[in-house]
Amino acid sequence: MNKTRLKNFAADVLTVLLALGVALIISVFVRPTIVNGASMENTLHDGDYLIVARQAYLNHSPERGDIVIIQSSLEYEKSDKGKLIIKRIIGLPGDKIEIIDSKLFVNNQQLQEEYIEGDVTPIGKIPPEGESIIIPEGYYYVLGDNRCNSRDSRDDKIGLVSNDDIKGKAIIRLFPFSDIRSF
């Protein structure tokens, strides 16, 4: 091999190694995700393309308002079990959640949710109307922004979400291009 071929070969190997390194970093730290369904309308829409930070909670806990990807244990249908779902964190460990007169209260304060449009009537069984629950350590209360069309913590088949089931935090919507935004 002459020197030019050797240089070209070395450059090609370096390019491949660099591409593999970038792919590895992306696959470990971020996850592209496509929204499937209407449970997060009007914040997210069916078909939106998101970038999810897989390691977002390595150094700190999820916060109220975070939009998270959850490994569902939902068992309505066999195809649903293990499915990834996207919801917003409403209740943190230690929080008291109540539904009074169809209004959502966290720690005795009515939750102000600017991201919800239209009917905000929280429906579901958890907690029952007029009763409260305290979120245990290591668990979160999550809701879809489209409260009338969301299977979430109000549903006894989903209930509270374990910290271990949170697989990442939505950090940016990349598509549609006219609606790019960070969260």
Q: How far is residue 127's CA from residue 97's CA, in Å, rounded to a whole number?
A: 7
H or E stretch at 16:
helix 3-29
The question of whether 169 is a catalytic residue gets the answer no
Could you tell me where the beta strands, DSSP code E, fall in the chain? 30-34, 49-53, 67-71, 84-91, 96-100, 103-106, 109-110, 132-134, 139-143, 161-162, 166-175, 181-182
Q: What are phi and psi of 21, to 5 degrees?
A: -65, -45
- Contact criterion met (CB below 8 Å) for 161 and 142: yes
- Neighbouring C-beta atoms of residue 58, cutoff 10 Å: 8
Choose, from 72, 73, 87, 169, the residue flagged as catalytic: 87
Choose, from 7, 27, 39, 73, the residue flagged as catalytic: 39
The question of whether 39 is a catalytic residue gets the answer yes
Just list the catalytic residues: 39, 87
